[in-house]
Amino acid sequence: MNKYAVIITGAVMLLAGCDKPSPPSADNQAWMAEGKTMGTFYRVMLASPPADALVGLKEQISQVLEQDNHELSTYRQDSVLSRFNHYNGTAPQPISAAMADLIATALRIGAKTGGAMDITVGPLVNLWGFGPDKQPVLMPTQAQIDSARARVGLHHLRLTEEVSGQWLQKDLPDLYVDLSTLGEGYATDHLAALMERRGITRYLVSVGGAVISRGLSPQDKPWRVAIQKPTDREVDAQAVVDLQGHGISTSGSYRNYYELQGKRLSHIIDPATGRPIDHKLVSATVIATTAMEADGWDTGLMVLGTEKAKALAEQQGLAVYLITKTETGFETWMSPQFRPFIIQATDTQPEKR
């Protein structure tokens, strides 16, 4: 058996330390729930949970994920977000406090990335076939791209908080908000909050490529989360981190793509060009206090490309790990804030600029 049990969730892998499988005992119990959600997979792993905390836990996990899906999905016509997108007017629409927090985070990160991360990019995501719409059979024309771009821009979206509640408003009736880039992190944070409410202090939860862990694994070691090498071999780890209660998320151009007329098209869209990114940065990983925060930054950094992403990470003091394609392979870089989380790394060149 390998040194670790490798479990893939998006572009990060969960490495549940298992050098020696431990027999279950009162102090060393492992519990796991997993399944499909939001077009991807979720996983909850617990170590030594209090017995009463497990009563009804699976049902509560499903409820949390269902609630988030009902709010954020653009794949469901009746979600809160789809109703906002399909509403053909400009009057403020009510949203929950949690959804307002998500959108405030998206607007803040969007502004700091100079619009590279833009949750109104939906018309372009759909045009290129990465949303609920089918993939195009022909390369979108410049006229189609320009037409979709005319409906994109964070300045068209307004969030207001009043005594009466939180309101979301658009000044273009056909603005289309796509929260896919933060949705997995949002749901991961909610699963972590559920564990905390249940008095569970040793957990690792993930939705897609967003992960949070707290406490120690069933082997009384740090939970190990691996950043995947940008290859088709899913079990290769580029680096392994101990999250120490933080959230992590990776955005990559090497897993979610398709080929059209001989060109490889990534699901990350540059709002400035209206086209899938086409540069050498292949993976951006961010560790932050919440998974949602990490999930917002990673996409923005991917859009910016290696040099601008490094500069922004340094300016903002972000914990960032980048993998860039070179003529001979891959080059990695980490910000000083990322280094304390690393417990194993291959081929890292942190000082190289």
Binding residues for FAD: 38, 75, 116-118, 178, 184, 269
Closest separation between CB of residue 168 and ligand FAD, Å? Answer: 16
Closest separation between CB of residue 142 and ligand FAD, Å? Answer: 19
Q: Which is nearer to ligand FAD, 54 or 260 (CB)?
A: 260
SS3 of residue 12 by DSSP = strand
Q: Which is nearer to ligand FAD, 218 or 252 (CB)?
A: 252
Binding residues for ligand FAD, rule: CB under 6 A, are: 10, 38-40, 68-69, 72-73, 75, 117-119, 121, 125, 130-131, 178-181, 183-184, 208-209, 251, 256, 267-269, 271, 295, 298-299, 303
Closest separation between CB of residue 155 and ligand FAD, Å? Answer: 15
Closest separation between CB of residue 66 and ligand FAD, Å? Answer: 10
Q: Which is nearer to ligand FAD, 242 or 298 (CB)?
A: 298
For residue 182, give the H/E element and its range: helix 180-197
Closest separation between CB of residue 193 and ligand FAD, Å? Answer: 17
Q: How many angstroms separate the CA atoms of 327 and 316, rounded?
A: 30
Instruction: For residue 274, give Cα distances in angstroms to 103, 151, 294, 303, 312.
Output: 22, 11, 24, 11, 22
Residues 74-96 as b or e (16 or more Cβ within 10 Å = b): beeeebbbbebbeeeeeebeebe
223 in Cβ contact with 245 (< 8 Å): no
Q: Which is nearer to ligand FAD, 202 or 275 (CB)?
A: 275
User: Which residue in the block uniquely carries the two structure tokens 């985070």?
Assistant: 105
Beta-carbon contacts of 270 under 8 Å, excluding residues fewer than 6 positions away, are 116, 276, 277, 303
Q: Which is nearer to ligand FAD, 48 or 283 (CB)?
A: 283
Q: Per the annotation, where are the binding residues for Mg(2+)?
A: 181, 295, 299
